[in-house]
Chains A and B, each alone.
Chain A
Amino acid sequence: MASKQTVLQSRMLFITCLWVLMTLIPNQLQSKPLVITTTPTLGQIAEAVGGIDVQVHSLTQVGQDPNTFFPRPSHVEKISTASLLFSAGFGLESTWLPTLITLSANVSIAPGQTGYFSGDDIIEAIGVPRGMTSDSMAQWSPDKNPYWWLDPELGIKVALALAIRLGEIDPVNAENYRLRALEFTTAIANELPRWRDYMNIHTGAIITYHNTYVYFMKAMHIELAGFVEPKSGIEPSTRHLSKLIDIIHQKKVKLIWVEPYNSRIIARRLADEAGIRLMVLPDSVEGYGSEGYIGMFEKMVERIARWSQ
């Protein structure tokens, strides 16, 4: 009888322990702040700073154009539980993100709240890069260029600000966030001189399809010779393309860079006509945290160097 009671008691103890474990584990997971980012590269910056203390989810995938993203109901559900929404800003997500925030009914991530973190609150758009023609400058709006993450130094600046913001949301781990942001800074600072040297050896002036890579070119001291499509979505004129061919010959341009998600038809025609090469350059790559972010620059530098041969 006594042994039966002991078995029953031990069973009850086991069930109680299991219940405690089952309730504790999800709570542990849920207690981590959920950071939602609009692009995968912003996700890598958030992972680099947040590490194991946060959960990170990117709304768009590698290779996807964040300008023309179509959110699904699962995205609304995801964003409704977010502690922090991390966007690039400068109008990149303006066509879909405000609606997504409204639908989520998550007031803590609305603009102006602690849970809303945008690149355009931290950095200022860069000035007109060297080497641009007067026509290109007139058509370029520097305050609207949202691709700041392609400048590693701006990535550092935003990561440091992100560490402070995460510390406000999750004060217990504030020191961890600060330390990780410093590690991220060191890792990039160690690589940056090598990337710049590599680019100075291998590239001359470059033509790009849109203004996506302007931050990268400024960071790597690469001269911009012009854009194939100066106004996004507006077909360039034949006169503009003729001028670009003249510029290509004058400045001995060797490459045209195109984003993975843009049509290559016009750029390919221009490259063929001018006798130069067209290459697709990523603006994000797969990978976790600072390794993924640094990996993107490694891939860009390696690819540019290879194609410039």
Chain B
Amino acid sequence: MILLTVLIATLVIAISLPVLGQRVLKRRIVFVDLALAQVAATGYALGMALQMPGILIAIITTAVAVVLMALMDEETKLPKEAVMGAVYAFAASLGMILLSLLPYGEGQLMGLMFGSILGINWEGIGILVAFSAIGLALALPPHSNTYHGRLRFYSGLCLIIVPAIHAIGVLLVFAYLVMPALSVWRHGHNGPVWQATAITAVASIIGTLAAHFLDLPPSATVVLTLGVISLITGIIIHRKVIDKPRSEEKRADDEEENKPVTPSI
């Protein structure tokens, strides 16, 4: 039964994360998931330090982070990855200081904010599906580069990523977000969504079963399988993309050669 819940959970995120990853990759904000997860974890630690409900403070701090991130224009000249990295480093350091004051909270905090795919049950899968559906409904529709548009996108992103990291762990979420989107990337743009989703679904099934029969850690095995499949697919797509313009170029050259010479007047 644990094998089945692991398999279903990986398939659920195989549907929601690659398509979201394409949006993230396009905006070049890959570290946004780590930054948001860390802000949530720090918020939880802050709640424990203040002897208040950790989940409530985690929601408030993450909402504040989303509101502030939405202030950043998508066409900003600031390197967005550096901003996300800075948010992550700041939140992680604050969390570490809070943890040093809370010796009892370490295990509880790590368990609540950074889950494991092995720990998910049917109820957890249900929550993951619900948050993914709401998050995709907010993040996927095209939006203008306005404050409200960006707020909607970051809110959707947050609603998918934070519960996913809580449920299945940061390793799988980061890999599912980035690897398939990178694999089908072509001509500096996102490739078809179905390709990214198919790669992830195949990797989820092969990786989970391989981990079970070879007695290996499931998260790392699934990520490795996804990495290998993404790499192979990426090379095939890349070669096709290179060959296609070459053949088009050759055809154009041939047409030029066969063109009848018109006498100059």
Contacts and interface: CB of A to CB of B under 8 A. Distances in A.
Given A235-B116, A237-B216, A269-B121, A264 B6 contact: no
B103 A62 contact: yes
A5 to B, nearest CB: 59
B212 A239 contact: yes
Given A236-B217, A238-B2, A265 B212 contact: no
B1 A273 contact: yes
B115 interface: yes
Interface string A59-73: 011111100101010
B219 A70 contact: no
A239 B215 contact: yes
Nearest to A60: B103
Instruction: Identify whether the interface residues of B are mostly helix, strand, loop, or mixed.
Output: helix
B111 A63 contact: no
B107 interface: yes
Contacts of A235: 116, 118, 217-220
Interface stretch (A81-89, A213-221, A254-262): A254-262
B187 to A, nearest CB: 38
B212 A259 contact: no
B98 to A, nearest CB: 12
A263 interface: yes
Nearest to B221: A237
Interface in B101-148: 103-104, 106-108, 110-111, 114-116, 118-121
A270 B100 CA distance: 30
B1, B114, B120, most chain A CB atoms within 10 A: B1
Given A63-B103, A264-B111, A265-B116, A238 B121 contact: no
Nearest to A65: B106
A269 B103 contact: no
Which of A235, A269, A273 gathers the greatest number of chain B CB atoms within 10 Å? A235
B119 A64 contact: no
Contact of A260 (B104, B110, B115): B104
A70 B111 contact: no
A272 B212 CA distance: 20
A299 B19 CA distance: 51
A273 B214 CA distance: 22
Interface in A204-244: 234-242
Nearest to B111: A263
A107 interface: no
Contacts of A64: 103, 106
A260 B218 contact: no
B220 to A, nearest CB: 7
B211 interface: yes
**Interface size class of chain A, counting residues whose CB lies under 8 Å from the partner chain:** 20 to 34
B241 to A, nearest CB: 37
Nearest to B107: A261
Given A237-B218, A239-B213, A263 B110 contact: yes
Contacts of A65: 106-107
A268 interface: yes
Contacts of B119: 265-266, 268-269
B2 A61 contact: no
Contact of B3 (A62, A72, A238, A261): A238
B118 to A, nearest CB: 5
Contacts of A60: 103
Contact of A263 (B116, B120, B208, B217): B116
Nearest to A64: B103
Interface centre among B118, B216, B218 (most CB of A within 10 A): B118
Contacts of B56: none
Nearest to B118: A266
B119 to A, nearest CB: 3
A68 B218 CA distance: 24
A238 B107 contact: no
Interface in B133-185: none
Given A235-B116, A269-B120, A264 B217 contact: no
B116 A238 contact: no
Nearest to A264: B111
B64 interface: no
A95 B110 CA distance: 20
B2 A242 contact: yes
A60 B103 CA distance: 9
Interface of A: 60-65, 68, 70, 72, 234-242, 245, 258-266, 268-270, 272-273
Given A60-B103, A238-B218, 13 more contacts: A235-B218, A235-B219, A236-B118, A236-B217, A237-B211, A238-B211, A258-B107, A260-B104, A262-B107, A265-B118, A266-B119, A272-B121, A273-B1
Q: Can you list the 10 inter-chain pairs with the closest CB atoms, starting with the nearest?
A: A265-B119, A263-B111, A64-B103, A235-B217, A63-B104, A261-B107, A238-B3, A61-B103, A63-B103, A269-B119
